[in-house]
A and B are shown apart, each in its own frame.
Chain A
Amino acid sequence: MRHQHGGKPMSRGVPEHLRGDRFYSPAVDIVEKEDEILLIADVPGAKPDDIDIQFEDGLLTVHAKVPVRYPDGVEWLQQEYGVGDYLRSFQVSEAIDVAKISADYANGVLILHLPKSAGLRPRKIAVNVKA
Chain B
Amino acid sequence: MAVPHFGPPSLDQFRREFDRLLNNFLGELPESGLPLPGRQRIPVNVWETPEAFFIEAEVPGVTTDQVDISVVGNEVTLRINRPQPPEESVTYHRRERQAGECSRVIKLPGEFDPDRVQADLQHGVLTITLPKSEAVRPRKVQINVR
A93 within 8 A of B: yes
A128 within 8 A of B: no
User: Separation in Å of the B77 CB from the closest CB of chain A?
Assistant: 15
What total count of A-B pairs have CB within 8 Å? 148
- Interface code A81-110, partner B: CB below 8 Å = 1, 0 otherwise? 100000111111101000000000001110
Bound together, the chains give a CA A18 to CA B124 distance in angstroms of 25
Chain B residues near A71 (CB-CB < 8 A) = 49
Complex contact B60–A108 (CB within 8 A):
yes
Chain A residues 34 to 70 lying within 8 A of chain B, measured CB to CB, are: 34, 37, 39-40, 42-47, 52, 54, 56, 59, 61, 63, 65, 69-70
Complex contact B19–A90 (CB within 8 A):
yes
Chain B residues near A75 (CB-CB < 8 A) = 47-49
Chain A residues near B93 (CB-CB < 8 A) = 30-32, 37
- Interface code B74-115, partner A: CB below 8 Å = 1, 0 otherwise? 000000000001000111111111100000001011000000
Complex contact B47–A33 (CB within 8 A):
no
Complex contact A42–B46 (CB within 8 A):
no
Complex contact A44–B21 (CB within 8 A):
no
Q: Out of A33, A63, A81, which one reaches B90, CB within 8 Å?
A: A33
Complex contact B48–A63 (CB within 8 A):
no
* Interface residues of A, count at CB 8 A: 52
Bound together, the chains give a CA A95 to CA B121 distance in angstroms of 38
Chain B residues near A54 (CB-CB < 8 A) = 3-4
User: Separation in Å of the B75 CB from the closest CB of chain A?
Assistant: 14
The 5 closest A-B pairs by CB, nearest first: A108-B124, A44-B124, A93-B22, A108-B60, A42-B60
Q: A29-B95, A30-B92, A54-B4 are in contact. Are A90 and B46 (CB under 8 A)?
A: no
B44 within 8 A of A: yes
User: Separation in Å of the A127 CB from the closest CB of chain B?
Assistant: 23
Complex contact B123–A31 (CB within 8 A):
no
